Chains A and B, each alone.
Chain A
Amino acid sequence: MHRLDARGKALAVLAYASVVATLPVGEPAPFLVLAAWPVGLLAAARVPPRVLLGALVAASPFVLLAAVFLPFSHAGGRLLWSGPWGVEVTSAGVRAAVAVVARSSLCLAATLALVATTRFGDLVAALERLGLPAVLGLTLGFVHRFLFVCLDLVRRVLCARAARSPRLGPGAALRSAGGMVASLFVRSYERSERVHAAMMARGFTGRVRPMARPRWRTADLGFLAFTAALLAAACVLEGRA
């Protein structure tokens, strides 16, 4: 899994996500087939289940927020519960909520399988070769690279504040946060100028030249064929149900 071409993996995950997103939620069978894909990949890549659970929990506030209102806002199906002020829970609504949770969890798992087995730089390079504009790719690379530098900076500034004011009321914390954000902004801006100078110093001309072009190998084609077969199977199962 780690050694597969990043382009193949990115394509497979895109195809997978579009099937998951468009397949109507009816029978559980097609979804079980679909679930097997990311779970199998994560297992093959030896990603501990804890990591998947962590990602699902981290995304849950957004997913649940969307799902919680769906049962009330969907007309149609059997009426399951009728409350005051015309609040109603319908079977169609419940089904939609389940669908949102299932779909987002599956897509999340598939994405996780992709990023857990691909170096970020390779992924960006793959997306560029699949048609992502170079400027966007470069920007993504920098965001990823300097996120850590900035987080470090934030940690240092917070640490320095804590050292000088161990107990800060919420008002004072908020007021000093304003100054911190401003100083972080200025420092990040100045850093960006220095990084730019460093890039120019090593002959940057506006285009990052890739090291070597990866080639498609049999394993990549096999992986894509397998994914296509699985997606097709899920669609057929759905049609029969």
Chain B
Amino acid sequence: MAAPLALRALGLCHVYPDGTEGLAGLDLEVEAGESVGLVGPNGAGKSTLLLHLNGTLRPTGGRLEVLGLEPGRASLPELRRRVGLIFQDPDDQLFMPTVLDDVAFGPLNQGLPGEEVARRVREALDRVGCAGYEGRAPYRLSGGEKRAVSIAGVLACAPELLALDEPSSHLDPRGRRRLIRILQGLEVTRVVASHDLELVLEVCSRSVLLDGGRVVAQGPTRALLADRGLLEAHGLEVPHSLTPHSEPHHPDGAHE
């Protein structure tokens, strides 16, 4: 039997107030436990889709179901509790005076008792390799550390679906490597929007190519991202590690 669906979109549309079409009839299914990459050129609608997942944006047409919930006023609090959204710029997300306060922000808002909050904070910081950062000020962290702490802040809310928007922008190679390790170590359902195709290749077993607010193609990441003609038609390039003359890649790279 197939795993239950974490996300189901049918003809999903979103028209911004100024008339721009962000999504134009998008069909997509994501199973629970999957790690799915969303790739596509700038303006393809990746961010718009992610903002629908936790109810920040509402569909203007079509159907959407996230973790069995239809977005709406009534389901909004539950949606926000169960879906963790990681924004493109960590500075938008780290708004509390210290790392501790910031990571504790979500669990405290859930009304959890003190010991539980402390435990969640400890585990989340551990997960992203930032144990001991509690007293630091977020604005004094390096880019990679900011990204790690912003992920911890969302993990501490114990989401069932994690959505990341361009997680590797603003990161240097070391920060990026660290991010990849963090993402590979998670078990929660993940949707990763990125035009860092190498990153998608390493953390997503399946990928979806978006353009013009629609799904253009989808399939196993390794196969999809090796399709030069398809990628170039949509403004993307085949990642170096998949080009024929580069080193042979590890066969276990496309594992589930």
**Residue ranges of A at the interface with B (Cβ–Cβ < 8 Å):** 119-121, 124, 141-142, 144-146, 148-149, 191, 194-195, 197-205, 208-212
Q: What is the bound-complex CA distance between A200 and B84, given in angstroms?
A: 11
Q: Are B114 and A202 in contact (CB under 8 A)?
A: no
Residue of B nearest to A213 (CB): B114
Q: Are A199 and B110 in contact (CB under 8 A)?
A: no
In the complex, which of the residues A149, A200, A208 contacts B139, with contact meaning CB atoms closer than 8 Å? A149
Given contacts A121-B98, A209-B109, are A201 and B92 in contact (CB under 8 A)? no
Q: Are B108 and A211 in contact (CB under 8 A)?
A: yes
Please list 18 pairs of residues, one from A and one from B, whose beta carbons are closer than 8 Å in the complex, sorted by A's number: A119-B98, A124-B97, A142-B95, A191-B91, A191-B92, A194-B92, A197-B51, A197-B92, A201-B85, A202-B80, A202-B109, A203-B77, A203-B81, A208-B105, A209-B109, A211-B100, A211-B104, A211-B117
Q: Chain A's interface: helix, strand, loop or mixed, by majority?
A: helix
In the complex, which of the residues B91, B96, B135 contacts A149, with contact meaning CB atoms closer than 8 Å? B91
Q: Chain B's interface: helix, strand, loop or mixed, by majority?
A: helix
Judge whether B22 is part of the interface by a CB distance below 8 angstroms: no
Q: How many residues of B contact A (CB 8 A)?
A: 34
Chain B residues near A121 (CB, 8 Å)?
Answer: 96-98, 101
In the complex, what's the smallest C-beta–C-beta distance from A6 to chain B, in angstroms? Answer: 12
In the complex, what's the smallest C-beta–C-beta distance from A188 to chain B, in angstroms? Answer: 12
Judge whether B93 is part of the interface by a CB distance below 8 angstroms: yes
Judge whether B199 is part of the interface by a CB distance below 8 angstroms: no
Q: Are A194 and B98 in contact (CB under 8 A)?
A: no
In the complex, what's the smallest C-beta–C-beta distance from B111 to chain A, in angstroms? Answer: 8
Q: Are A203 and B110 in contact (CB under 8 A)?
A: yes
Q: What is the bound-complex CA distance between A197 and B56, given in angstroms?
A: 7
Judge whether B194 is part of the interface by a CB distance below 8 angstroms: no
Chain B residues near A120 (CB, 8 Å)?
Answer: 97
Q: What is the bound-complex CA distance between A210 and B107, given in angstroms?
A: 11
